[in-house]
């Protein structure tokens, strides 16, 4: 049996992963009747429902919606990018598997696809085992179908979906509540419903309320109508979790032509330009939504109106932040006399440092080179199990190459997140890296991985080499 090996590493502090994902499983809908009233269940069925017979998510009457979170166990000839990045599934391994899928005779079998579908994405016990290997002591779990929920047109159905997901996520975390924490979905379609859900999940110990920073159906989430939502967060201590995402817009109502996200414009530009791969614009999508939200809340005086509110900027990298804050400060100094809003009490940069934390991923080196700037505002995100996820050992390796002192590593990889979420530091934590993982006989060899990294390995030379329907991501 092949053995995947890793270089020995050790750490002297506990890790908090502030943004990792679960995939919403089919039984979330099967069990919805246990969590919802009769009217809520009926609204859920009419708004967003997983149909097990057709294996499809039906949203606003449209079948085949969503990202496919519910299709667990994988499919032959495909890698499930939503549950792929488990222990040791580094990006070069993923590349080798995708190259295999380009040909019928080497494409993944059903058994192999199931092996790569990491069960920790929807079951807590496997996740805890994976965390032990990945060096992750504590984690905040976040749902996957983030581009779907803002477009639910029935407010009662949206309320029911949030309630069902939040109760499932709460039960998931009860497997080990000192290691597993959940961020709650909020039905922003109706501010009163969102307020009620904040109070409900806060009573369960929830630390974060998730908000997508887009203008879906005219609901950009800093509008005055949401005052009661922010007041509820201030009162309960629930953190405003701002999570961006690519703006597919597939659930826009017919005739709805308004642009709802900066990421939407990026996607349109990429399509018009004929860019060959959606992942080329993936990072820009997240940064577009996040940077716009940061500029708007800082320049509008949002945090001065809600002075007790704290916020987390999820999954948008962090390298762009220093530039945006500098530009906000410069703009305010230059145009403060032309401002039609009340004057700010402090510079935008100072407000961000007081109220916000931003996520970063383990392959980002710039924060390690600017530790004084990021010292109290940076929190590591694994993005596990999504395809671009990685373990904490990758992050530590990046920091050590930059010669970042350990006191900053400890802050970036756990202390800042725990302080924001008001979570106690664990007394026991993982210190040493697991250096060997046993793999099945079909696992890519070192030679295959090296060959797959060559550009020509992903080129289909003849139609005969390609089987339609086989390949998943390419």
pLDDT digits (tens, 9 = 90+) for 72-101: 999 999 999 999 999 999 999 999 999 999
CB 378 within 8 A of CB 411: yes
Q: What tokens does 8 get?
A: 């020995």
Question: What is the spatial order of strands in the sheet that 62-65 belongs to?
Answer: 48-51, 56-59, 62-65
pTM of the model: 0.94
d(CA 199, CA 231): 11
Q: Look up residue 118 and give its two tokens.
A: 């990491």
Compute the radius of gyration of the chain from its Cα atoms.
22
Is 236 exposed, middle or buried (CB count within 10 Å of its CB: 0-12, 13-18, 19+)? middle
How far is CA 83 from each of CA 56, 94, 410, rounded to the nearest angstrom? 18, 12, 28
- pLDDT at residue 474, rounded to an integer: 38
Cα dihedral sign for 208, 213, 216, 218? positive
How far, in Å, are 41, 112, 197 from residue 37 at the CA level? 6, 40, 15
> What pLDDT score does 461 carry?
60
Nearest to 82 by CA among 317, 387, 302: 387
Residues of the chain with pLDDT under 50: 465-474
Residue 469: predicted pLDDT: 47
Q: Which pLDDT belongs to residue 357?
A: 98
For residue 463, count CB atoms less than 10 angstroms from its CB and return exposed for 0-12, middle for 13-18, buried for 19 or more. exposed
What pLDDT, on a 0 to 100 scale, did the predictor assign at position 280? 62
Burial (CB count <10 Å: 0-12, 13-18, 19+), residue 39: exposed
Going by DSSP bridges, is the β-strand pair 48-51/56-59 parallel, antiparallel, or unpaired? Answer: antiparallel
């Amino acid at each position: 049996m092949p053995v995947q090996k890793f270089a020995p590493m050790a750490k002297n502090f506990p890790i908090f992963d502030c943004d990792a994902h679960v995939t919403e499983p089919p039984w979330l809908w099967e069990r919805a009747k246990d969590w919802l009233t009769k009217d809520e269940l009926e609204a859920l069925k009419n708004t967003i429902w997983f149909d097990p017979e057709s294996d499809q998510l039906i949203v606003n009457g449209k079948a085949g919606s969503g990202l496919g979170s519910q299709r667990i166990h994988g499919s032959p000839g495909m890698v499930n990018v939503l549950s792929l990045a488990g222990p040791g599934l580094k990006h070069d391994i993923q590349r080798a598997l995708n190259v295999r899928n380009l040909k019928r005779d080497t494409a993944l079998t059903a058994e192999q696809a199931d092996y790569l579908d990491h069960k920790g994405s929807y079951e807590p016990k496997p996740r805890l085992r994976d965390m032990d290997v990945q060096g992750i002591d504590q984690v905040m779990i976040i749902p996957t179908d983030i581009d779907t929920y803002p477009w639910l047109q029935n407010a009662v159905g949206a309320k029911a979906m949030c309630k069902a997901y939040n109760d499932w996520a709460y039960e998931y975390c009860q497997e080990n509540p000192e290691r597993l924490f959940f961020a709650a979905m909020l039905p922003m379609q109706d501010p009163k419903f969102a307020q009620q859900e904040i109070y409900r999940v806060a009573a369960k110990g929830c630390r974060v309320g998730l908000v997508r920073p887009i203008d879906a159906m005219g609901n950009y989430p800093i509008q005055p109508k949401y005052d009661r939502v922010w007041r509820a967060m201030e009162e309960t201590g629930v953190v405003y979790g701002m999570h961006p995402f690519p703006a597919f817009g597939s659930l826009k109502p017919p005739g709805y032509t308004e642009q709802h996200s900066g990421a939407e414009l990026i996607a349109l530009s990429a399509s018009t330009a004929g860019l060959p791969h959606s992942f080329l614009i993936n990072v820009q999508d997240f940064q577009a939504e996040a940077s716009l939200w940061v500029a708007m809340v800082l320049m509008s005086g949002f945090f001065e109106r809600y002075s007790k509110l704290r916020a987390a900027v999820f999954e948008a990298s962090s390298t762009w932040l220093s530039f945006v804050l500098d530009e906000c400060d410069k703009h305010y100094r230059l145009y403060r006399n032309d401002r039609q809003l009340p004057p700010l009490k402090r510079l935008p940069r100072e407000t961000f440092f007081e109220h916000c934390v931003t996520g970063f991923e383990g392959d980002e080196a710039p924060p390690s080179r600017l530790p004084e700037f990021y010292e109290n505002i940076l929190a590591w995100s694994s993005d596990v199990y999504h395809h671009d996820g990685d373990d904490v050992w990758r992050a530590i390796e990046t920091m050590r190459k930059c010669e970042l002192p350990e006191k900053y590593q400890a802050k970036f990889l756990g202390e800042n997140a725990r302080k924001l979420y008001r979570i106690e530091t664990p007394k026991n934590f993982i210190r040493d890296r697991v250096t060997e993982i046993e793999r099945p006989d079909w696992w890519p060899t070192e030679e295959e991985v090296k060959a797959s990294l060559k550009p020509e390995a992903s080129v289909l030379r003849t139609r005969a080499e390609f089987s339609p329907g086989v390949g998943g991501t390419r």
